[in-house]
């Protein structure tokens, strides 16, 4: 199969592309290589991918309608699209909201329009987020929960993306799945993520900011488990039943909610240094806890996360020390 992966030089896109290439698939990677974070990290990921014969890369903004159409025209054999490219980050959406409109709304529109013109397309996967659940008090989060009250612009754009995907599944019969990712971490992670920032600052002896006085919990999910879930889902496109659209939504999480301060403690132990902590109030757009119910994903395509933070965080730190030589 030929699979198009947007955000291929990103954190999850890099891991997913490597996994697909290892399975013998051909991957068309797209990324705009923007400077939201260190571009050299994106180039390093991309360099790994470009060492594989089955990988081709196109630098393009996913919201560039003409550019994306030209790319898709060059790979008419594409059988699946995994749309991972997005403007990430809850807090950054308070600073640069129009970046979220551009990538997370216009970009999704362009990809869906391209998808409906691919005659051999069997599955379109959209990367959504646990952020769509907002501050729901009932845990764990289930895909049947109401997600109409996002508490950040980032979450609102992801919810809008899901709605757009459903409309295209309904109108054009494109099999579409929205996967709600829960706090993904691991080697090659993004520098704006808590595990990355904590590790970097604790190693350097700098102060770390911890919000809500440390009283926060997250369903931290190791990147290898996310990739396993995406590849299993890829082989199980939804079907139209009794007139319904061929559309599905699943949570991909680790099915456990971890104390943020436990994460800090593990990093302290692994790097051999105590953290200097600046406790701060909860930030606008943040939620106190996330926790995924993955019952449907387990039943429908065998999603079973295997890595807890006691194993995953040391693996990330080993990569970090090796990559940055610290």
Query: Which stretches of 116-239 are DSSP H helices?
Result: 153-172, 194-204, 223-234
133 catalytic? Reply is: no
- Taking a C-beta distance cutoff of 8 angstroms, is the pair 132, 165 a contact? no
Distance CA 153, CA 98 (A): 10
CA dihedral 10, 14, 16, 18 (to 10 degrees): 170
Q: Are strands 78-83 and 55-59 parallel, antiparallel or unpaired?
A: unpaired
Dig out the tokens for 171 from the structure: 């109108």
Distance CA 249, CA 237 (A): 11
Distance CA 228, CA 19 (A): 9
Query: Which stretches of 205-272 are DSSP H helices?
Result: 223-234, 260-271
Q: Are strands 184-185 and 276-280 parallel, antiparallel or unpaired?
A: unpaired
- Taking a C-beta distance cutoff of 8 angstroms, is the pair 305, 221 a contact? yes
Q: Are strands 258-259 and 217-218 parallel, antiparallel or unpaired?
A: antiparallel
CA dihedral 56, 60, 62, 64 (to 10 degrees): -130
Catalytic residue, chosen from 154, 247, 291, 320, is 154
In the β-sheet with 176-181, what is the strand arrangement from edge to edge?
55-59, 26-31, 2-6, 78-83, 123-129, 176-181, 247-252
SS3 content of the chain, % helix, strand, coil (to 5): 45, 20, 35
Positions annotated as catalytic residues are 154
């Amino acid at each position: 199969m030929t699979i198009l992966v947007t955000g291929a030089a990103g954190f999850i896109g890099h891991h997913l592309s490597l996994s697909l290439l290892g399975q013998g698939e051909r991957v068309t990677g797209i990324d705009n290589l923007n400077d939201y974070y260190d571009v050299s990290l994106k180039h390093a990921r991309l360099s790994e991918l470009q060492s594989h014969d089955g990988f081709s890369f196109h630098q393009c903004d996913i919201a560039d309608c003409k550019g994306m159409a030209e790319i898709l025209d060059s790979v008419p054999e594409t059988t699946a699209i995994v749309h991972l490219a997005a403007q990430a980050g809850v807090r950054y959406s308070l600073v640069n909201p129009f970046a979220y409109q551009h990538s997370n709304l216009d970009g999704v529109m362009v990809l869906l329009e391209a998808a409906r013109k691919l005659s051999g397309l069997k599955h379109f996967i959209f990367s959504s987020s646990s952020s769509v659940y907002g501050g729901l008090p009932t845990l764990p989060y289930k895909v049947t929960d109401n997600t109409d009250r996002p508490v950040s612009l980032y979450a609102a754009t992801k919810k809008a993306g899901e709605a757009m995907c459903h409309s295209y599944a309904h109108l054009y019969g494109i099999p579409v799945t929205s996967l709600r990712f829960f706090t993904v971490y691991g080697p090659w992670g993004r520098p704006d993520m808590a595990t990355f920032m904590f590790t970097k600052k604790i190693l350097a002896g700098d102060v770390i900011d911890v919000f809500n006085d440390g009283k926060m919990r997250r369903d931290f999910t190791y990147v290898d488990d996310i990739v396993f879930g995406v590849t299993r889902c890829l082989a199980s496109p939804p079907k139209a039943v009794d007139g319904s659209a061929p559309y599905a939504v699943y949570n991909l999480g680790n099915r456990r909610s971890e104390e943020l301060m436990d994460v800090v403690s593990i990093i302290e132990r692994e790097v051999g240094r105590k953290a200097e902590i600046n406790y701060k109030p909860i930030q606008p757009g943040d939620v106190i806890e996330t926790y995924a119910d993955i019952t449907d994903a387990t039943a429908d395509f065998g999603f079973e996360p295997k890595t807890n933070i006691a194993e995953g965080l040391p693996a990330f730190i080993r990569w970090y020390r090796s990559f940055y030589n610290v």
